[in-house]
Chain A
Amino acid sequence: SQELEQSPQSLIVQEGKNLTINCTSSKTLYGLYWYKQKYGEGLIFLMMLQKGGEEKSHEKITAKLDEKKQQSSLHITASQPSHAGIYLCGADRSASKIIFGSGTRLSIRP
């Protein structure tokens, strides 16, 4: 099983609607990262969360890390076609190991 579980695996959302993607770990997260990936491109860094309860926003994307630092959510408000892609969460498991979730494929329906 994955150390980082993402849900849902795929999501189709009507343009303009809100959506949430979750990333859950059985262990405390130290450094939780959200990335976006489009076909044929490298991962794009979105946000990093480190403190329990921390919340960060960038344009219409908000990410939160829960108080226990075991779950993070990524929320997109008023989705647009440009939001389509794969969203990946990542975490530092140790000083030399980085782990990733399985990804959530987001499609935006016009």
Chain B
Amino acid sequence: GAGVSQSPSNKVTEKGKDVELRCDPISGHTALYWYRQRLGQGLEFLIYFQGNSAPDKSGLPSDRFSAERTGESVSTLTIQRTQQEDSAVYLCASSPVGTDTQYFGPGTRLTVL
């Protein structure tokens, strides 16, 4: 079946521009996670959605970062006024209810010039 998909796969933007990254989780998965991995570093947790509960935003690095998810469907991660340090691979993962196994998407490579 279809796995987690993300778009775009690559995004190059200029400093100061806003970007929007999209994640399509596996159908029926209630949990959705966003991470980023900067060059030479491990994954950083950004935000976690679980069903209709309030999201865990504890990992968002600044107020320029926000994410939305409608129900148990698509999520978008928005970065406003991008900075060069935002350059990273942004990964999305989803989990079905009752399990903690995360299924990862292919990631979006964001490059801020």
Contacts and interface: CB of A to CB of B under 8 A. Distances in A.
Contacts, number: 56
A90 B43 contact: yes
B109 A43 contact: no
Interface in A26-50: 31, 33, 35, 37-48
A42 B34 CA distance: 9
Contact of A96 (B45, B46, B59, B89): B89
Given A96-B89, A97-B107, A38 B43 contact: no
A18 B31 CA distance: 32
B89 A86 contact: no
A40 B107 contact: no
A35 B43 contact: yes
Contacts of A40: 31, 48, 50, 100
Given A90-B43, A97-B107, A41 B91 contact: no
B91 A98 contact: yes
Contacts of B42: 33, 35, 45-48, 90
A42 B107 contact: no
B89 to A, nearest CB: 6
B41 A48 contact: yes
B52 interface: no
B29 to A, nearest CB: 14
Given A95-B109, A97-B106, A98-B89, A42 B45 contact: yes
Interface string A87-98: 000100001111
B102 interface: yes
Interface in B69-113: 89, 91, 100-102, 104, 106-107, 109
Closest 3 pairs (CB-CB, A-B): A42-B45, A45-B42, A39-B100
Interface of A: 31, 33, 35, 37-48, 85-86, 90, 95-98, 100, 103
Given A35-B43, A90-B43, 7 more contacts: A38-B100, A40-B31, A43-B33, A43-B35, A45-B43, A86-B100, A100-B104
